[in-house]
Amino acid sequence: MGFTKKEYEFLGEIGVGPDNLGGYVDGKWKATGPVVSSVNPSNNQEIARVTEASIQDYEEGMKACNEAAKKWMSIPAPKRGEIVRQIGDALRAKLEFLGRLVSLEMGKILPEGIGEVQEIIDMCDYAVGLSRQLNGSIVPSERPDHMMFEMWNPLGIVGVITAFNFPCAVLGWNACIALVAGNCVVWKGAPTTPLITIAVTKLVAEVFEKNNLPGAIFTSFCGGAEIGQAISKDTRIALVSFTGSSKVGSIVQKTVSERFGKCLLELSGNNAIIVMDDADIDLAARSILFAAVGTAGQRCTTCRRLYLHESIYQKVLDQLIGVYKQVKVGDPLEKGTLVGPVHTRVSRDNFEKGISSIKSQACILSLGGKILVGGSVIESDGNFVQPTIVEISPDASIVKEELFGPVLYVMKFKTLDEAIEMNNSVPQGLSSSIFTRKPEIIFKWIGPHGSDCGIVNVNIPTNGAEIGGAFGGEKATGGGREAGSDSWKQYMRRSTCTINYGSELPLAQGINFG
Active-site positions?
266
Please compute, for residue 360, the number of CA atoms within 13 A of its CA located in the half-sphere on the CB side.
8
* Dist. CA 17–CA 20, nearest whole Å: 6
At 172, phi and psi to the nearest 5?
-60, -45
Q: At what angle do helices 169-180 and 110-130 cross, to 10 degrees?
A: 10
From the list 414, 419, 410, the residue with the least C-alpha distance to 444 is: 419
* Dist. CA 90–CA 93, nearest whole Å: 5
* Dist. CA 275–CA 292, nearest whole Å: 14
Q: At what angle do helices 95-106 and 194-210 cross, to 10 degrees?
A: 150
* Cα 273-276-282 angle, rounded to 5 deg: 75
* Dist. CA 309–CA 28, nearest whole Å: 58
Residues 6+ apart with CB under 8 A from 417: none
Instruction: Please spell the DSSP secondary structure of 389-432, one letter per residue.
Output: EEEE-TT-GGGGS---SSEEEEEEESSHHHHHHHHTTSSEESEE
Give the three-state DSSP class for 226: helix
Element (H, E) at 26: none
Indicate the burial class of 49 (C-beta count within 10 angstroms; 0-12, 13-18, 19 or more): middle
At 54, phi and psi to the nearest 5?
-100, 170
Confirm if 416 and 436 have CB atoms less than 8 A apart: no
Residue 421: how many other CB atoms lie within 10 Å: 12
